[in-house]
Amino acid sequence: MALDDLFEVTTASTGRTGLACLAHEAVSMVLLDLHLPDLDGYTILQQIRVQQPRLPVVVLTGDPALATQAQHYGATDVVIKPWDLDILRVRLWQTFMDSR
């Protein structure tokens, strides 16, 4: 809901659901948490890169040490938790605009 005024938001609570959304819906950007209940975030990121290499993917992580690793796997940007909502919104908007 915090992003609904900027984007048309589709949510997925698991990695498999998110990948299915990507396969069936036009998506402009992904906000990906590395810790999901079913799949490792890096696995999802790798699959996104195979399916849609140019799709912007912003990764959320609570571990600053994982930021470099996420970028190595192809993350466009990494936001460290706990994040400030206003900063997250700006970073997502910038990423979206840069991808156009």
| Structural contact between residues 24 and 40, judged by C-beta atoms closer than 8 angstroms | no
pLDDT given for residue 1 in this prediction: 74
| Structural contact between residues 59 and 34, judged by C-beta atoms closer than 8 angstroms | yes
Domain positions in the chain are 15-98
Query: What CATH class is the domain 15-98?
Result: alpha beta
Instruction: Indicate the pLDDT class of residue 89, thresholds 50, 70 and 90.
Output: very high
Note the pTM of the prediction, 2 decimals: 0.93
| Both structure tokens of 87 | 């900063």
Q: Is the pLDDT of residue 83 over 90?
A: no
- The set of residues, in sequence order, having a beta carbon less than 8 Å from that of 45 and lying 6+ positions away, is 32, 57, 59, 70, 73, 74, 75
Q: Tens digit of pLDDT for each residue in 42-78?
A: 999 999 999 999 999 999 999 988 989 999 999 999 9
